[in-house]
Chains A and B, each alone.
Chain A
Amino acid sequence: MKIKVLHRSLEAHLPESSSSTAPVSRNLDPALHPFARPREYTRAVAAAKLERMFSKPFVASLEGHGDGLYSMAKDESGGLSRIASGSGDGEVRVWDLGDRRSVWEVVGAHKGMVKGVTFSHPVEGEEGRVEKKVGGGERGIKRKRTELGDRGKGKGKEEPESEDEDRLDSTEARGSSRLLTCGSDKTVKMWDLKGSKGSNVQPLQTYTGASGFNSISHHRYDPIFATASSQIDIWDETKTSPLSTLKFHSTSSLSTGEHIVSVAFNKSETSVLASSGSDRTVCLYDLRSGKALGRVSMAMRVNQLVFNPLQPPVLLCASEDHNLYTFDMRNLSTTTQVYKGHVGAVMSADWAPTGREFVSGSYDRTVRLWTAGEGKARDTYHTKRMQR
């Protein structure tokens, strides 16, 4: 008889020394691992719940405005920390997100609402701008405007700035030094962010238009910006009257006021811009030809247009019909993706700097995060403090 009885030696199963860990023996036979699927399911559910529990998305609130905020812009050349905001009482502020404080403000920038803000980009060695070297070897050449042509008020500002050159605040070392704001009082004003702040501040330049402006967008490199009112005006920063006017959106007899709601420059294909109007259309233009490239008629008005910063043909439209649409600007006949999730009109949207995700805010008081390509929102944020 061959008799073999199972017995185990303790050495193989106890830890080698008092400080080492106990040995682990594995047997992958499924008979020893029952309930594989329910256990895996339970772990997945628990992991999702814990992830939700530990995620605390609300970071901070920046307080300072006295009225509701109606426009916001981020500084593309200011690292990732500078944003500007304009409120309903005409106040404009520039914030530093790292310090979570306001670095510049002006009260009464416009009479009435500030409808749009955008940063004017400092240009790196491009022609068309007169440069004036003012100190600062390592930090690079600071660009300055010499001729602003605004009744000489701008000139007075230059000298104190040259004195302050060496004592630049570290927070203001990078970033655009000028801000453009537009309001319903038919003016666009350019502000100097290195200059004085508070009340009774004079803008560097004022541009007057025929009607109140709804939206403003700056060219990525050139000193050109576009405004939307009852037509699209392309302005040069140095001139007080627009370079050209584009009137491709149709006006109906019923429409009153400025019917072009939003305008946006393409930050990667830099001479293309898009606009949307109350006639429910989205128009695409090229500055080089000065003609419209295409036009799409939507079901409802598009409240904001944003181009993808890293993918030139992708245009995101935040529409009144609770959806967001992405278009390929080369083929406006179909949308490439519909994003459904909001339950109220989508008022604004913006792409992440990676170009792979975007965020949208809507009239239903929520902010939703989306991944490009997935039609359902990744996340929804809402607080009681965020109201209509």
Chain B
Amino acid sequence: MDGPVASTSKSLWKGKGKGRDSGRDESLLSNSNRSLPKQDDWVPPTQSLKKYVYAKPNMADKNFLKQKAIPDKKLAHHLQALTSAAKTSSLKAFEHDDLLLSHSNQGLIETETDLERTWKVGQQEIVDGSAIGVAGKAFSLKLDEFGPYALDYTRNGRHLAIAGRKGHVATFDWHSGRLHTELHLRETVRSIKWLHDESFFAVAQKKYVYIYDKAGLEVHQLRDHIEVNQMEFLPYHFLLATIGNAGYLKYQDTSTGQLVAEHRTKLGSCQTMAQNPHNAFIHLGHQNGTVSLWSPSVSKAQVQLQAHRGPVVSIALDPSTMGNRMVTAGLDGTVKVWDTRKWAVLNEFHFKKTPASAAFSQKGLLGLGWGNHISVFNDLQKPGQNPRMSPPPYMTHTFPGVPVSNVKFCPFDDVLGVGHSTGITSLVIPGAGEPNFDSLEADPYEGKRRRREREVNQLLDKVPFDLITLDTDLLGKLDRKTAAPSETENQDKPGWKDTPFSQKTRLDRLKVKGEAVEEEDESSGEEDEDEERRKARREERVEKADAKKRARGRNSTLKKMLRKRRRNVVDPQTVALKEKLSRARDATKKAKLNAMAARSAASGTAGALDRFTFK
């Protein structure tokens, strides 16, 4: 290491000035004696790397391949290549995020002494203790006359749309305060939702859903969506999902304009809807306490949970845990934290009041809106908490005398937007937003050109709706059902088709040919008497159920004819039919008695107890 370095540095100094002796050179070039700092050999722990493995997460596990020796060398080599590629890419992604992302100005409120409590921190204290720009984040719009407000942020957190129940709709850029449009619709507005960016928004009005563009022009009237209560937009599939009083969940493709699916929930009017951002499933909370999960390609709910004893008031899904956490709030004041993979309740809390609305922030903070205050919870997953005692909130804010209707966290910012009866309020919640955004996904500072390019790229990358599956890894998984069909298929089911001979397993093929060697089983030789009797009885029951056999021997045409004639009319034909029917009944009864008697005579048991024997 020293040799080549020294020679090059000497050559550098060759022609420069006079009287530079080699001794001076040595000291001046003292860095030639120092070796280069060693490369950092630190490898991040597997747990933090696992997060970045976009392929199967268990590929990052070092024991992944050592579990079973794979006899096929080509396959083993291929899997080796895949795991090493997954590891290198996850390492690179980790390094990128570790080095390039700024973690400086973000984080939760930290208490310095034991006596301090974070929920006692008010908005004024936060604004006073922070930079000047933060003051613009905490604002409140006083809009008294137009009813409780619903609000929505765009995906990049830059634009805000608010809608008052009495028909006041406004959209603005809340960073700069620039108003895009303000509409007075003069009819009930129940919900508002931005579409793929700030160019369009959808408003659920009294009867239909209307889509407006940025300037406030009504561009579409969606007459298929009737009396809609809640709306959700799936950004990667360009689908607008709506649910209303009729209980129909309808998906509309906003890029082609096609109504993609409508599903009857059959559970009545629904007021609660949430979207799982990681698998694009729609979670609906119903009045009977069930939560159902829907996708556009399946016409029944894919999952149904009994979440609460009363109606489900609010559902929220956590974007920070890859769609694994769900919080449901019921009218009875319970708030449950669910794991969406196991469908198990992780934690359950009882509150005295009913929460009105729930929302998760990008960093996993849960915001709940109550009657006159909101509370933000930090860590609801702590096991072992006493369910009777409600957990301490991270922050609270009170709205004296004003019921809260809607809470939403702003993406990529430490802001919680609250819609209430007298307008909207924007609160600063430190640690709520993701500090580093990805420009290729959502950029609060995108200019006109980038917005246009992003829109076109999003449309080109629009995922077809039938790829929405509960298991996000399904695409690319081996289809085991067709690879190895189940042996427990029911042959008697109608429509059963035998697998063709060439696709059968070897054993089945031999069986068909008649060359399968049956293993000698000793127990199969002897058959129990009870077993025999039970078998015979089963067969009898099947025969009885057989419709054809049922018709034989019992003259049901007589009964049919009698039924068809009016019962209160007595005419000679009816009388004759009735007589015929009673004669037929007597005859069957006699035959039964005779049969029983014959059997009892044959078996030798007492005659009186014959009626208690099995037939």
- Contact code string B447-464 (vs A, CB < 8 Å = 1, else 0): 100100000000011111
- The answer to whether A3 touches B125 (Cβ under 8 A) is yes
Which chain A residues lie closer than 8 Å to B51 at the CB level? Answer: 29-30
- The answer to whether B445 touches A33 (Cβ under 8 A) is no
- The answer to whether B476 touches A39 (Cβ under 8 A) is no
* Cβ-based interface call for B322 (8 A): yes
Which chain A residues lie closer than 8 Å to B137 at the CB level? Answer: 5, 7
Distance of A29 Cα from B441 Cα, bound (Å): 12
Distance of A243 Cα from B138 Cα, bound (Å): 102
* Cβ-based interface call for B11 (8 A): no
- Contact code string A1-32 (vs B, CB < 8 Å = 1, else 0): 11111110110011100000011111111111
* Cβ-based interface call for B52 (8 A): yes
User: Which among A41-49, A265-273, A337-345 touches the partner chain?
Assistant: A41-49
- The answer to whether B450 touches A22 (Cβ under 8 A) is yes
Interface residues on B, range: 35 or more
- The answer to whether B133 touches A41 (Cβ under 8 A) is no
* Cβ-based interface call for B111 (8 A): yes
Q: Whole-angstrom distance from the CB of B136 to the nearest CB of chain A? A: 9
Distance of A147 Cα from B134 Cα, bound (Å): 101
- The answer to whether B445 touches A1 (Cβ under 8 A) is no
- Contact code string A32-74 (vs B, CB < 8 Å = 1, else 0): 1111111101110010000000000000000000000000000
- The answer to whether A42 touches B461 (Cβ under 8 A) is yes
| Residue of A with least CB distance to B460 | A46
Q: Whole-angstrom distance from the CB of A1 to the nearest CB of chain B? A: 6
- The answer to whether B463 touches A1 (Cβ under 8 A) is no
- The answer to whether A37 touches B319 (Cβ under 8 A) is no
Interface size on A, residues (CB 8 A): 34
Which chain A residues lie closer than 8 Å to B106 at the CB level? Answer: 4, 6
User: Which among B257-265, B427-435, B520-528 touches the partner chain?
Assistant: B427-435
Distance of A10 Cα from B444 Cα, bound (Å): 11
| Residue of A with least CB distance to B477 | A37
Instruction: Tell whether A28 pairs with B475 under 8 Å between CB atoms, given A5-B428, A7-B130, A22-B447.
Output: no
Q: Whole-angstrom distance from the CB of A18 to the nearest CB of chain B? A: 11
Instruction: Tell whether A7 pairs with B467 under 8 Å between CB atoms, given A15-B447, A27-B436.
Output: no
- The answer to whether A28 touches B96 (Cβ under 8 A) is yes
* Cβ-based interface call for B439 (8 A): yes
- The answer to whether A32 touches B445 (Cβ under 8 A) is no
- The answer to whether A35 touches B463 (Cβ under 8 A) is yes
User: Which among B97-105, B248-256, B299-307 touches the partner chain?
Assistant: B97-105
Distance of A38 Cα from B101 Cα, bound (Å): 27
- The answer to whether A2 touches B446 (Cβ under 8 A) is no
| Residue of A with least CB distance to B51 | A30
Distance of A295 Cα from B431 Cα, bound (Å): 81
- The answer to whether A43 touches B430 (Cβ under 8 A) is no
- The answer to whether A26 touches B472 (Cβ under 8 A) is no
- The answer to whether A37 touches B473 (Cβ under 8 A) is yes
- Contact code string B42-75 (vs A, CB < 8 Å = 1, else 0): 0000000001101000000000000000000000
Distance of A13 Cα from B446 Cα, bound (Å): 9
- The answer to whether B96 touches A38 (Cβ under 8 A) is no
Distance of A38 Cα from B447 Cα, bound (Å): 28
Which chain B residues lie closer than 8 Å to A26 at the CB level? Answer: 96, 100, 438-440
Distance of A23 Cα from B447 Cα, bound (Å): 11
| Residue of A with least CB distance to B449 | A22
- The answer to whether B236 touches A35 (Cβ under 8 A) is yes
Which chain B residues lie closer than 8 Å to A43 at the CB level? Answer: 460-461
- The answer to whether A39 touches B100 (Cβ under 8 A) is no
- The answer to whether A28 touches B93 (Cβ under 8 A) is yes
Which chain A residues lie closer than 8 Å to B96 at the CB level? Answer: 26, 28
Distance of A332 Cα from B423 Cα, bound (Å): 87
* Cβ-based interface call for B288 (8 A): no
Which chain A residues lie closer than 8 Å to B130 at the CB level? Answer: 3-5, 7
Which chain B residues lie closer than 8 Å to A9 at the CB level? Answer: 133
Which chain A residues lie closer than 8 Å to B100 at the CB level? Answer: 26
- The answer to whether B472 touches A27 (Cβ under 8 A) is no
Q: Whole-angstrom distance from the CB of B232 to the nearest CB of chain A? A: 15
* Cβ-based interface call for B277 (8 A): yes
| Residue of A with least CB distance to B94 | A28
Which chain A residues lie closer than 8 Å to B479 at the CB level? Answer: none
Q: Whole-angstrom distance from the CB of A43 to the nearest CB of chain B? A: 6
- The answer to whether B131 touches A7 (Cβ under 8 A) is yes
Distance of A2 Cα from B463 Cα, bound (Å): 44
- The answer to whether A14 touches B445 (Cβ under 8 A) is yes
* Cβ-based interface call for B414 (8 A): yes
Distance of A5 Cα from B126 Cα, bound (Å): 8
* Cβ-based interface call for B121 (8 A): yes
Most chain B CB within a 10 A radius of its CB, from A26, A28, A36: A28
Which chain A residues lie closer than 8 Å to B428 at the CB level? Answer: 5
Which chain B residues lie closer than 8 Å to A5 at the CB level? Answer: 105, 126, 130-131, 134, 137, 414, 428, 430
- Contact code string B106-121 (vs A, CB < 8 Å = 1, else 0): 1101111000101001
Distance of A25 Cα from B137 Cα, bound (Å): 22
Distance of A32 Cα from B440 Cα, bound (Å): 10
* Cβ-based interface call for B424 (8 A): no
Instruction: Tell whether A22 pairs with B125 under 8 Å between CB atoms, given A38-B463, A46-B460.
Output: no
- The answer to whether B440 touches A1 (Cβ under 8 A) is no
Q: Whole-angstrom distance from the CB of B197 to the nearest CB of chain A? A: 16
- The answer to whether A31 touches B320 (Cβ under 8 A) is yes
- The answer to whether B440 touches A38 (Cβ under 8 A) is no
Which chain A residues lie closer than 8 Å to B236 at the CB level? Answer: 34-35, 38-39
* Cβ-based interface call for B280 (8 A): yes
| Residue of B with least CB distance to A50 | B460
- The answer to whether A6 touches B414 (Cβ under 8 A) is yes
| Residue of B with least CB distance to A4 | B107
From B97, B126, B436, A3 is in contact (CB under 8 Å) with B126
- The answer to whether B277 touches A7 (Cβ under 8 A) is no
- The answer to whether A7 touches B134 (Cβ under 8 A) is yes
- The answer to whether A3 touches B109 (Cβ under 8 A) is yes
Distance of A231 Cα from B67 Cα, bound (Å): 64
Distance of A22 Cα from B444 Cα, bound (Å): 12
| Residue of A with least CB distance to B104 | A4
Distance of A34 Cα from B322 Cα, bound (Å): 8
Which chain B residues lie closer than 8 Å to A30 at the CB level? Answer: 51-52, 54, 322
* Cβ-based interface call for B146 (8 A): no
Distance of A223 Cα from B130 Cα, bound (Å): 94
* Cβ-based interface call for B206 (8 A): no
* Cβ-based interface call for B437 (8 A): yes
- The answer to whether B430 touches A4 (Cβ under 8 A) is yes
Distance of A26 Cα from B280 Cα, bound (Å): 23
- The answer to whether A1 touches B414 (Cβ under 8 A) is no
- The answer to whether B133 touches A7 (Cβ under 8 A) is yes
| Residue of A with least CB distance to B362 | A31
Chain A 181-206 interface residues, beta-carbon cutoff 8 Å to B: none
- The answer to whether A1 touches B116 (Cβ under 8 A) is yes
From A1, A6, A39, B435 is in contact (CB under 8 Å) with A6
Q: Whole-angstrom distance from the CB of B109 to the nearest CB of chain A? A: 5
Q: Whole-angstrom distance from the CB of A340 to the nearest CB of chain B? A: 17
* Cβ-based interface call for B350 (8 A): no
- The answer to whether A1 touches B134 (Cβ under 8 A) is no
* Cβ-based interface call for B129 (8 A): yes
- The answer to whether B278 touches A34 (Cβ under 8 A) is yes
* Cβ-based interface call for B227 (8 A): no
Which chain B residues lie closer than 8 Å to A25 at the CB level? Answer: 436-439, 443
A-B contact pairs, 6 of them (CB 8 A): A6-B105, A31-B320, A31-B322, A33-B54, A37-B472, A39-B463
Residues of A in contact with B (beta carbons under 8 Å apart)? 1-7, 9-10, 13-15, 22-39, 41-43, 46
Beyond contacts A5-B131, A27-B437, A32-B438: 15 other A-B pairs, Cβ-Cβ < 8 A, are A2-B110, A3-B430, A4-B105, A4-B107, A5-B105, A6-B413, A7-B130, A14-B445, A22-B446, A24-B439, A25-B439, A27-B97, A35-B278, A35-B280, A42-B462
Pairs of residues from A and B, 4 with the lowest C-beta to C-beta distance, nearest first:
A13-B445, A2-B110, A28-B93, A5-B130
